[in-house]
């Protein structure tokens, strides 16, 4: 969940590159940050609690920065999301060994760190932090016999858990050694400079040529060379990929927050997600990434979708689509639950892992469990080259562009659009007629415009949101296709505004939660004109009878609803299977404006990280 960046080369100012990389990675974790550079044969390290800005101020004020640090050409840096030990300067990375010969940054969790630590203390090492990470740097120095590869290989053989690490050493100038297991590491190849990071966001401004490491790869990096070996110290070759990213996409471009920018990018993001996938001549979608012939597709008799958080809600939408369009029994499972419950999978079961980052630990574990049980495993991911995409080898990219705001927005709507196309494909492979296929395709094509119409009403949604910004509790209720949207709306509100919000099936309200309704507990009722609306009107009355203020989402032209609710957010008319997308956009805006009114840290909410690489 932390962010790592390292640089070696003389083309750019090393410290500036490290700080720039940290700023771009800050969304991964942000309770403390630090850098270490090789300067005049020594390691100089500066750390600070808080955001990267604080670290930058500290570096500017430090005496060392005017001399040695400024001239450094090799260094590593880290932005932390605390797992072991409070967010203090001592616990911030980089961590050093006793003699100050090695400095290390780490992303992941070392499960056997207590045993390692006790053993290392017995051997005379002194620990200065409460972190699990510090054990790795002592271990490397303990294993070091003059060869960095050998030292890191020996150290990681003793480690249980997950790691992406980058290490510098006074004994090896102009060199960074990096390795991974379970946490991503990507190396950017420049011209006489090399960058290593946990995430492409820190690299793409400098180079688009990258290498993704596999688990248990160790890479020795210098400005002009990248030497990759496996854990047995045997050279391995890894493909160089070219990354097609618009760097402007990783800037705020005039918006107050990345989240708002990403909400507004949705029409374009969804257009990119569906681009080239809809084929009029066959009245279906072309999803060559699935790598399934029509015959193989027709043999699939069950779909299981595994995901976490917002991606889980997108998966719930998928369950409706696959069953409605393709008569294909589908179930959605929280990825951690899937991996530990010993799922029943048959050779004709297809498991779809959904993940924006492609790095979520539980979703990755679900992929591995499904793979070893012999299922057909595919992924729907946004981040190109991420671990889940590489381990599934079949799947569909969202092409939503980088999502920096911690709260997922455009990835969700693109995931839903991709699943619509997948369900269409399976549907046409089974029972949908050509005409029905064409109709669904046309509706999918209209989605970017539907979303745009909702975005045009942002000022009105802001006014509604401001009226509810003082609430302490909130309910979101929906039915059918709008049930997962209610869950997602509640998740968005709670994570960025810190208002306690619960998403419920409208019918479930009576089975307990209704006890909580009173005049200061508002209800967001998703009452669009799709199947279930009539029942929803009844549920709204039940809420009003308990004095709860009700905000409704409703289909444009529905004037009747105005009489029974306090506020209405209008959504353009579309069939039930696409209505969920513009509706979620309205809820994203609602949450954003509530959080803004409350003065919350919208892009980096407390306690959260963008990529959850721990269980
Ligand atoms: C909420 C949010 C998280 C993620 C979840 C899974 O806004 O972003 O709930 O959806 O951590 O992440 P991915 O999709 O990267 O697997």
How far does the centroid of ligand 1 lie from the alpha carbon of residue 167, in Å? Answer: 29
Domains of the chain, first to last: 3-244 (3.60.20.10), 247-454 (3.40.50.10490), 457-601 (3.40.50.10490)
Contact of 520 with 471, CB cutoff 8 Å = yes
| Residue reference for tokens 């690489």 | 613
Calculate Rg over the CA atoms of the chain: 25
Pocket test for ligand 1, best of 184, 307, 309, 603 (most atoms within 8 A of CB): 309
Average pLDDT, the chain: 93
Average pLDDT of span 136-153: 97
> Which residue out of 199, 262, 310, 402 has the highest number of ligand 1 atoms within 8 Å of its CB and is therefore the one to mutate?
310
The residue among 473 and 254 whose pLDDT is bigger is: 473
The model's pLDDT over 541-579, given as tens digits with 9 standing for 90+, comes to: 999 999 999 999 999 999 999 999 999 999 999 999 999
Of 2, 308, 381, 600, which is the active-site residue?
A: 2
CA-388 nearest atom, ligand 1: 16
Burial of 4 (0-12, 13-18, 19+ CB in 10 A): buried
Instruction: Dump pLDDT digits (tens) for 458-483.
Output: 999 999 999 999 999 999 999 999 99
229 and 236 Cβ atoms separated by less than 8 Å: yes
Nearest CA to ligand 1 atom 11: 309
Are the C-beta atoms of residues 308 and 360 closer than 8 Å to each other? yes
Q: Would the CB of 365 count as within 6 Å of ligand 1?
A: no
Provide the greatest CA pair distance for the chain.
79
Tell me the pLDDT band of 603, cut-offs 50, 70 and 90: confident
CA distance 294 to 314: 25
CA angle 223, 77, 216 (to 5 degrees): 70
Burial tier of 275 (Cβ tally within 10 Å: 0-12, 13-18, 19+): exposed
- Contact 108 CB / ligand 1 (< 6 Å): no
User: Taking Cα atoms as reference points, which of 402, 403, 350 lies closest to residue 378?
Assistant: 350
Q: Is 597 a catalytic residue?
A: no
CA–centroid distance, residue 610 to ligand 1 (Å): 7
CA nearest to 35, candidates 1, 68, 75, 71: 75
212, with CB counted inside 10 A (0-12, 13-18, 19+), is buried
Concerning whether 610 is annotated as a catalytic residue, the answer is yes
Place of tokens 């979520």: 360
CB atoms within 10 A of CB 374: 12
More confident call, 36 vs 245: 36
Per-residue pLDDT band for 66 (boundaries 50, 70, 90) equals: low
Any atom of ligand 1 within 6 Å of the Cβ of 386: no
With vertex at residue 67, the alpha carbon angle to CA 64 and CA 72, rounded to the nearest 5 degrees, is 95
If you measure from the C-alpha of residue 160 to the centroid of ligand 1, how many angstroms do you get, rounded to a whole number?
25
Going from the Cα of 134 to the center of ligand 1, the distance in angstroms, rounded, reads: 28
In the predicted model, is pLDDT for residue 357 greater than 80?
A: yes
**Banded pLDDT at 40 (limits 50, 70, 90):** confident
Q: What's the gap in Å between 268 CA and the centre of ligand 1?
A: 21
Contacts of 335 (CB under 8 A, 6+ apart): 306, 307, 308, 312, 353, 360, 362, 363, 365, 366
Atom number, ligand 1, closest to the C-alpha of residue 363: 16
Beta strands in 384-514, from DSSP E residues, in sequence order: 395-397, 473-478, 500-505
Burial class (CB in 10 A: 0-12, 13-18, 19+), 166: buried
- Average pLDDT estimate for 485-490: 98
The pTM is what? 0.78
């Amino acid at each position: 969940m932390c962010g790592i960046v390292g640089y070696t080369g003389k083309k750019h100012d090393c410290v500036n590159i490290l700080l720039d990389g940290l700023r771009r990675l800050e969304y991964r974790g942000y309770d403390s940050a630090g850098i270490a550079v090789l300067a005049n044969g020594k390691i100089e390290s500066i750390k600070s609690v808080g955001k990267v800005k604080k670290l930058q101020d500290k570096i500017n004020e430090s005496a060392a920065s005017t001399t040695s640090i400024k001239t450094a050409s090799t260094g590593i840096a880290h932005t932390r999301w605390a797992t072991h030990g409070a967010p203090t300067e001592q616990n911030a990375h980089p961590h050093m060994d006793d003699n100050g010969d090695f400095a290390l940054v780490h992303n992941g969790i070392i499960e056997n760190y207590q045993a390692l630590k006790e053993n290392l203390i017995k051997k005379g090492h002194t620990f200065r932090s409460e972190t699990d990470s510090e054990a790795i740097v002592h271990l490397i120095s303990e294993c070091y016999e003059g060869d960095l590869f050998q030292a890191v290989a020996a150290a990681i053989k003793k480690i249980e858990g997950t790691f992406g690490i980058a290490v510098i050493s006074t004994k090896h100038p102009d060199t960074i050694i990096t390795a991974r297991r379970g946490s991503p590491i990507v190396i950017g190849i420049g011209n006489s400079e090399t960058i290593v990071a946990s995430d492409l966001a820190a690299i793409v401004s400098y180079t688009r040529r990258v290498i993704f490491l596999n688990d248990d790869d160790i890479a020795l990096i210098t400005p002009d060379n990248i030497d990759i070996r496996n854990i047995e110290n045997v050279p391995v070759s890894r493909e160089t990929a070219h990354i097609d990213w618009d760097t402007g996409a990783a800037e705020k471009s005039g918006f107050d927050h990345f989240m708002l920018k990403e909400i507004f990018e949705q029409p374009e993001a969804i257009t990119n997600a569906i681009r080239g996938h809809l084929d009029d001549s066959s009245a279906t979608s072309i999803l060559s990434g699935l790598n399934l012939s029509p015959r193989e597709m027709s043999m699939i008799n069950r779909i299981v979708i595994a995901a976490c958080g917002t991606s889980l809600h997108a998966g719930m939408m998928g369950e409706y689509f696959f069953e409605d369009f393709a008569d294909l029994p589908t179930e959605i499972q929280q990825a951690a639950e899937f991996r530990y419950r010993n799922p029943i999978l048959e050779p004709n079961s297809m498991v779809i892992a959904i993940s924006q980052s492609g790095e979520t630990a539980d979703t990755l574990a679900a992929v591995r469990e499904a793979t070893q049980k012999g299922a057909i495993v595919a992924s729907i991911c946004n981040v190109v080259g991420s671990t889940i995409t590489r381990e599934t080898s079949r799947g569909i990219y969202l092409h939503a562009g980088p999502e920096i705001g911690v709260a997922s927005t455009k990835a969700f709507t693109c995931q839903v659009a991709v699943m619509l196309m997948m369900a269409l494909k399976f549907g046409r492979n089974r029972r949908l007629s050509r005409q029905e296929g064409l109709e669904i395709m046309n509706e999918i094509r209209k989605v970017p415009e539907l979303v745009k119409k909702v975005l045009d009403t942002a000022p009105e949604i802001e006014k509604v949101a401001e009226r509810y910004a003082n609430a302490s509790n909130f309910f979101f209720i929906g039915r059918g296709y709008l049930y997962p949207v209610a869950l997602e709306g509640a998740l968005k509100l709670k994570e960025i505004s810190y208002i306690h919000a619960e998403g419920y099936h409208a019918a479930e309200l009576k089975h307990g939660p209704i006890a909580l309704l009173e005049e200061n507990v508002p209800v967001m009722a998703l009452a669009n004109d799709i199947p279930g609306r009539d029942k929803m009107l009844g549920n709204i009355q039940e809420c009003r009878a308990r004095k709860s203020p009700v905000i409704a989402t409703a289909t444009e032209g529905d004037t009747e609803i105005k009489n029974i609710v306090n506020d209405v957010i209008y959504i353009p008319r579309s069939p039930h299977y696409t209505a969920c997308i513009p509706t979620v956009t309205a809820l994203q805006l609602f949450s954003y404006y509530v959080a803004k009114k409350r003065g919350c840290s919208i892009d980096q909410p407390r306690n959260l990280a963008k990529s959850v690489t721990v269980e």
